[in-house]
Structures are given as structure tokens and as C-alpha cells.
Amino acid sequence: MFDEIYHGQSWPRAIVHIDGDAFFASCEQVMHPELKGRPVVTGSERGIISSASYEARKFGVKRGVTPWDAKKMCPGLIFVQSDYQVYSEFSQRMFAVMRKFTPTVEEYSIDEAFADITGYDRLYKCSYGEIARRMKEAIEEELKITVSAGVSVSKVLAKVGSKWKKPSGCTAIAPQDIETFLGKLPAGSVWGIGGRTAESLQHHGVHTALDFSKKGEGFVRAFFAKPQLELWRELHGESVYPVVDAPKEGQSSVSKTRTFTPGSGDHVFLFAQLLKNLEHACERMRAYGQVATGLSVFLKTAQFHYAKLDMRLERRSALPTDMVGTLRVRDGGDAHGIKVCG
């Protein structure tokens, strides 16, 4: 069930976030019914777990764990080779269901999307929370997997809602209830706040998302950059990030970076994290209907030494399995990223 729902009169905007639950593993369980109710993981062919079913998560197995460690956590674990074409098909079916409720749908990644339903409470004669619930249930009926939904007045708050009761949760965060939710949420769990930013916030006595939202705009401007200011505004219920229902025009590359706190010189760990970045970048490309012709990998050490490697692909692709063979980690450090070029 979803949290208490409210009439849309107090909502300046209504944005739904739909997030697939253990998406890749769930797709495999639908395609292979014998895997239902069993601990399943995907991605081991790339040396890192990309998705773990909730049965596997009970043993501590999660995304980013190595297959070796995962097997130690759960001796009965079932490894399934990733099939991104199947996952993409499930993804497009999910987005198609969402568009039955509103044409304004942004395909954010392969397993999540935003939808703007502002004003649709009058069309459907029900609350925004009820619309989100109906959308969620329609997706689950069509795909035979579970998804979680959140609806609020901004993208960031909608994402807070979708994470609130995973799996298969549905949470409406009305304007008058924003502070209640933010007070229970660690600042580092907010979409867009990474490890370094969370660490910096803690130094300023900011531990929860509510602590951050209560800080004045002057504080945010003084200590942080534009992205953090935009997050701060979104947490206040201002819709800074619109739902974009079309691919970005003229986009020539997609990139994904990550900074480690603390830094690491473990080449196996770095390569595994690089593969995660590759997967995220490929998800975004598929969402935009694009393919890549090349890769650019960079790494920056804690001493600010910078290394970059550019590679061409043998064939155009948006699947990480077609690219992983070209990747090599050349140095240890505390930050790395990947760019896929069209």
C-alpha cells in the first residue's frame, strides 16, 4: 500500500518516479520461471554483480559485489548471464505503460523513469497518489515484475518516495509532509549527493536531508556548487528539473564518473567500479536510442595525476558486453570515469 494521499490542489506540480525492483534479476525470473523465489544474480560474466534478486539480498549480496564474495555470502546463489536485449525490451514495455497515463515520460535509465502528471488528478478524478498507484500496478500486471513508485512536487522528492518502501512500494509526499520524510533520510541518500558532498555536509553538522534543506541559501552558495544548490531547491519543493520527454538533441557523448572516499589503489576494485560506470553510461545511451563508436576512460589519482585512454569499438553498440573486452585499468587512484562517444 502507499502512504496517505492528498488532493492535488496544494500541489504546484506532480512528478512520478518509477523504479524497477532488482530489475535485471527480476526480468530473468520472469523469463525463467524456475528461478522464481530463488537467489539470482546477473553480471558475473563482467566480474561484478550488476543485479541481485531480493532472495539474494537477504544474504548480503548486492550490486557491486564480486562473484567470488557473493558466492561466499550465499553458497546456493544462481549466476545468470546478462541479456541486455531482453532487459531493454522489458524497459520499453514499462515506459509504454507509463505513457498510457501521460505522454510526458522521461526515460531516465533502463529501469527507471519520471512522469509529469500535473493536472491529471482532475482528468482521472483521483489523487496523485492514486494515479501513481494505478501506474505502478499496471506496470506490474504487464511485466510480471514489481516496481516502486514515488510521487511528489519535484524529481528529487519523487525519487525519495520511490526508495521509501522498496520493493513494491508506493509513496506520495505531499508539500505539507516534505519535512517529515526528509527528517528520516540521511543526507547521503539523497539523489545527487555523493560521498564527498555527504562528507563535507557532515563537517558542517548536516546529517539528514532535513538538516540540509534547513540551511540557508547563503550557506549552500558559500560552500557548494550549482548542482547542490539545485538539489537544495528541489528538496524545498521547487521543481528545478523538468521532466524531459524527448531524447537530448545533438548529444555526442554520454559520461559517468565516480570519486572514491577514501581513494583506492586496488586494481581489481577499480576495474569493477569502472564496469559499473560503463553500465550506467550504456543505460543512458539506450534510453536516448543511441549507440557508441568509441570509449574514453580517464583516471585521476589522489595526487591529481591524470591519465586518459581513448579506444574505438569494433562495431557500434550500446551494450556493455560489447565494450568490456577493450577496457584495462592502467593505474590506481581515487577517481575514474568513462565516456562513450557517438
At residue 245, the 3 state secondary structure works out as coil
**CA 71 to CA 270: how far, in whole Å?**
20
The burial class, CB within 10 Å (0-12 / 13-18 / 19+), for 315 is exposed
Summary count for the chain: helices (H), strands (E): 13, 12
**CA 320 to CA 301: how far, in whole Å?**
25
Decide if 230 is catalytic.
no
Please give the DSSP secondary-structure letter assigned to residue 290.
-
Query: HSE of 129 in the Cβ direction (CA atoms, 13 Å)?
Result: 16
At residue 100, the 3 state secondary structure works out as coil
**CA 76 to CA 55: how far, in whole Å?**
11
**CA 151 to CA 172: how far, in whole Å?**
5
Which is catalytic among the residues 28, 55, 107, 112? 112
Catalytic residues, which ones? 112
